[in-house]
A and B are shown apart, each in its own frame.
Chain A
């Protein structure tokens, strides 16, 4: 009964947010374009023959970076910024009264945005294949299924991390600077700019213990057909989710007790 209710709420939220996002389709198209950095990186790798020494062919590397682009497109999270604005503007108070955790609202917002973003990502991929015809491939259904799940898990990890940071707004008012700090390791260690395989040995060992390579590197390797430890990757992703979820619950319940409405 209760889960049924939550499902209905989530479905309604999703519908509302999807129509909301469709209104801003131009903006979302621009967001999609701003994610093309992996392609520039690919250009540096292949144009200088940097990949010869690491035994990844041009074709496999271009598939990797295309997949990295896709995974990034569908795992971008910006809860901190929405929540910070809402809390500074005092919009959180009415949300708190509703019989639904406000983060469901943001969650629906992100999902709706991803659905809107999908066609634009496909168009960009189409252009990519036009210039790189030799790298066209069709992943098998199983691979597609597994990598969709791992992309979703990566999205969940990032959503949880950012929600935890967003909850810090209850104490500091401006939490987005912490998010900017955390974005730096996400950018450099997640495999968006260079596959984690190419990192020097002494860092590789440590990086695989952090959540970062499971955000982009693991799903992208899975989807592009590059070598990766499938079960290990999934276990680590689920491990991080199981670790972060209770932290979020605790910080949320502590934060809402601390919350004092601003203004008015």
Chain B
């Protein structure tokens, strides 16, 4: 019953936010060009790295392209859902409009995380999948059902981890009021996800797998794509994703206890 309610509410969200986004049509067009250029730029950068080397951190060019593909998909998802919504939290808290969200008879985390949608991110997701299909061809990967389910699970886990990271940082706004730039820090760190983790020095590798689990977000799904990943790594990723989702939820409920509306 309540599940169906959420579906209907989400349909309304989609309708309203798409309607308001399509008001700026040229904007969407320009964003589409930007997404294309961005992918071309990062492949260009990668080709500079491979100019005189055959492999970086044990990854060949064709294999590193898979990481680019997965990064592009995840970046598209971030631009479509996470970025427009979670930057809105900052606004809600600063202007005190979070009150109205809390008063609504639906889950506040659901409302805050899914209210808006930016359609131009879709192209990035499509581009990422196209790149992945191309990579499957040039790396001669055999497709079968168990391979596809494994890939999808790790990709889903990455999305969960990514969402939790964004949501964590946005939640801290309740204490710090202005964390606009904290999301910018996260964004610049996530940039690292474009490259194989093994290409970094040992200390950075530790940092990016323990403190900010960027390693789990792109490298493990890419390894699964290549059939290189051990089973324990996949298990670990699932566990990390569950822990992150669960604790981000708890953290949100905990933070709400400290929320005192903006004085009006």
Q: Which residues of B contact A43 (CB under 8 A)?
A: 200-201, 204
Q: Which residues of B contact A50 (CB under 8 A)?
A: 49, 52-53, 56
Any B CB within 8 A of the CB of A185 = yes
What 1/0 mask marks residues of chain B from 103 to 121 whose CB sits below 8 Å from any chain A CB? 0000000000000000000
Segment from A146-154, A193-201, A213-221, A237-245 that makes contact with B: A193-201
Please state if B30 and A178 are interface contacts (CB–CB under 8 Å). yes
Any A CB within 8 A of the CB of B137 = no
Please state if A34 and B34 are interface contacts (CB–CB under 8 Å). no
Q: Which single member of A34, A53, A193 contacts B51 (CB below 8 Å)?
A: A53
If over half of A's interface residues share one DSSP class (helix, strand or loop), that class is named, otherwise mixed; here it is helix
Any B CB within 8 A of the CB of A260 = no
Q: Which residues of B contact A31 (CB under 8 A)?
A: 181, 184
Please state if A172 and B57 are interface contacts (CB–CB under 8 Å). no
The residues in A between 164 and 205 inclusive whose CB is less than 8 angstroms from any CB of B are: 172-174, 177-178, 180-181, 184-185, 187-188, 193-194, 198-200
What 1/0 mask marks residues of chain B from 131 to 148 whose CB sits below 8 Å from any chain A CB? 000000000000000000
Please state if B37 and A184 are interface contacts (CB–CB under 8 Å). yes
Any B CB within 8 A of the CB of A208 = no
Any B CB within 8 A of the CB of A48 = yes
A50 to B201, CA, bound (A): 14
Please state if A37 and B188 are interface contacts (CB–CB under 8 Å). yes
Any B CB within 8 A of the CB of A225 = no
Please state if A193 and B45 are interface contacts (CB–CB under 8 Å). yes
Q: Which single member of B181, B185, B204 contacts A40 (CB below 8 Å)?
A: B204
What is the distance, in angstroms, from A204's C-beta to the closest C-beta of chain B? 11
Please state if B51 and A200 are interface contacts (CB–CB under 8 Å). yes
Any B CB within 8 A of the CB of A96 = no
Q: Which residues of B contact A145 (CB under 8 A)?
A: none
Q: A24's closest neighbor in chain B, by CB?
A: B178
A217 to B200, CA, bound (A): 23
Please state if B31 and A180 are interface contacts (CB–CB under 8 Å). yes
Any A CB within 8 A of the CB of B12 = no
Please state if A184 and B181 are interface contacts (CB–CB under 8 Å). no
Please state if B56 and A199 are interface contacts (CB–CB under 8 Å). no
A198 to B52, CA, bound (A): 11
Q: Which residues of B contact A178 (CB under 8 A)?
A: 30
What is the distance, in angstroms, from B59's C-beta to the closest C-beta of chain A? 10
Q: A173's closest neighbor in chain B, by CB?
A: B24
Any B CB within 8 A of the CB of A44 = yes
Q: Which residues of B contact A200 (CB under 8 A)?
A: 48, 51
Knowing A44-B200, A48-B57, A178-B30, say if A34 contacts B45 (CB, 8 Å). Answer: no
Any B CB within 8 A of the CB of A125 = no
Known pairs A34-B188, A188-B42 / 7 extra A-B pairs, C-beta < 8 Å: A30-B184, A31-B184, A180-B31, A181-B33, A187-B41, A193-B45, A198-B48
Q: List, sorted by A's number, 16 A–B pairs whose CB atoms are closer than 8 Å.
A: A26-B178, A27-B178, A30-B185, A31-B184, A34-B181, A43-B200, A43-B204, A44-B49, A44-B200, A48-B199, A178-B30, A181-B37, A185-B37, A185-B41, A194-B45, A198-B48
